Structure 1
């Protein structure tokens, strides 16, 4: 099987490493704008070969994994479409699905099947040097099929990511994906960004932090080019989640200001209950 990874950064590199470890017979190729990254990956035997010119790789690819920003992905699909191999399967790692699917599917030839996916794994740092196959081990993977997809290709992607040692694999609708990711991922980033940016620069906070602040701000080492795209492409769901969060924040704020201990205790008991459910902790 010839596999083409488009974008050999953190996630693309992690796929390459996971494929090398778990599917050693596969021929893994990469396309990236950085020739030095491609050469380094080849020297380290992470990929078989790489190129900056997609025409060197795409026509022979059985599986294509897009690990690039969503807007770029759309443009690349438009460029690649005339060169796609008969029966090739395409997938992605993008954190927003509904609008992306609407942009991509009209560009596809009938003989290519794009099964949209989302690995719930990764690291804050960018670049091939931060890639790791271990981040995929037991991680969740989301697949968002469309009516255009062939059932056997959905099954192929399930088996493929299972072979790469992902844990729970969920097949969900694109809209539900965007709704739940808007809450679990995008809202979490909105809160973390707002928290760290509300700090008083003159305080020199880093001298006084503990685990709580470090844990809550870990994800603020953020890709400032990617995340605005994700926020804007999912704004309807995300703004709704921000509004619901604001309701809870206002409720807690009011309870603190009015010395309403009962409300604070109720909110904390509810959060503890939800935490235990999230982590499958028995009372």
Structure 2
């Protein structure tokens, strides 16, 4: 376990922010504060003792925070950082948890102070439900964490973020540039959510629940979605997402043609190819 001789502020006490609070509290930082617009969320977090104190007014903790972790929607992240630019402590590290990076980082760097280091971060972890009630430190266990450094980030600050996220359970930490991040995430995250929603929306039966088993449940699991968040993520990553949809359409068309042509060998080949790739993935 690493020693965290830092004052840390978490912005947003939802699923991810609450989970960060639970995990970081065990590392015993100097102080662990939170900012949220929801008084009840702050009160609950304080009662759970996963933060030392919560604030509606961000100025109070930001002025003393060495590390700030924003756990809110991408556009709100940009808005929060811009509105509080004068409140951040000199030399502080700001990192985020948003699912897109290129646009977010470009927007932030239009106003970032020279004495502040913003380092993009993306925990590849979550649940279908939102809110502090569903937070748990266990969602980070053995998960992947993406860091999107840019020119100007200090190496020692990147290392601090790496050590921090590894200490709370993340196993694989990958560094890549923001543009490449968004391209990859369009395939591994945005496309699967669209596929799950499209699959379940194509159902025109009223009694489907009596005919489903593991495969249908697994394929549609992420269709239980935070529509506001995912609309924002996908629209801000529109070009990459459209590219991946087109690639997938070509893939599904290959299956369709094999079935139409009664081509058993082709269908078997496609299934075997997918099975092998799935085995390599896990």
The residue aligned with 2:52 is 48
The residue aligned with 1:223 is 226
The residue aligned with 1:275 is 278
- Quote the Cα distance in structure 2 between the aligned partners of 1:127 and 1:26: 26
- Quote the Cα distance in structure 2 between the aligned partners of 1:175 and 1:78: 22
The residue aligned with 2:78 is 74
- Point out where structure 1 has 5 or more consecutive residues left out of the alignment: none
Query: Secondary structure, in 3 states, of the residue corresponding to 1:165?
Result: coil
Superposed structure 1 runs of 4+ greater than 6 Å apart? none
Match of 1:195 among 161, 180, 199: 199
The residue aligned with 2:212 is 209
- Quote the Cα distance in structure 2 between the aligned partners of 1:107 and 1:11: 26
Within the alignment, does 1:105 sit opposite 2:83 as a pair? no
Within the alignment, does 1:258 sit opposite 2:261 as a pair? yes
Q: Report the TM-score, using the length of structure 2 for normalisation.
A: 0.96
Verify the 8 A CA contact 1:144 1:172 in the aligned structure 2: yes
Match of 2:25 among 20, 26, 39: 20
Match of 1:64 among 63, 68, 83: 68
In terms of fraction of residues, the more helix-rich structure is: 1
Query: Secondary structure, in 3 states, of the residue corresponding to 1:109?
Result: coil
Match of 2:14 among 6, 9, 16: 9
Q: How far is the alpha carbon of 1:162 from its aligned partner?
A: 1.0
The residue aligned with 1:236 is 239
Q: How far is the alpha carbon of 1:65 from its aligned partner?
A: 0.4
- Quote the Cα distance in structure 2 between the aligned partners of 1:159 and 1:226: 28
Verify the 8 A CA contact 2:118 2:153 in the aligned structure 1: yes
Which stretch shows the higher mean deviation, 49-58 or 11-20?
Answer: 49-58
- Quote the Cα distance in structure 2 between the aligned partners of 1:150 and 1:32: 29
Q: How far is the alpha carbon of 1:50 from its aligned partner?
A: 0.6
The residue aligned with 1:37 is 41
- Quote the Cα distance in structure 1 between the aligned partners of 2:38 and 2:205: 36
The residue aligned with 2:127 is 123
Verify the 8 A CA contact 2:8 2:29 in the aligned structure 1: no
Within the alignment, does 1:165 sit opposite 2:166 as a pair? no
Within the alignment, does 1:140 sit opposite 2:166 as a pair? no
Count the aligned residue pairs.
Answer: 277
Query: Secondary structure, in 3 states, of the residue corresponding to 1:175?
Result: helix
Match of 1:93 among 93, 97, 100: 97
The residue aligned with 2:88 is 84
**TM-superposition CA deviations, 1:225-276 (whole Å, max 9, x none):** 1001110111111111100000011111111122111210111111111111
Q: How far is the alpha carbon of 1:27 from its aligned partner?
A: 1.2
The residue aligned with 1:176 is 180
- Point out where structure 2 has 5 or more consecutive residues left out of the alignment: 1-5
Query: Secondary structure, in 3 states, of the residue corresponding to 1:83?
Result: coil
Within the alignment, does 1:247 sit opposite 2:254 as a pair? no
How big is the alpha-carbon RMSD for the aligned residues of Structure 1 and Structure 2?
0.9
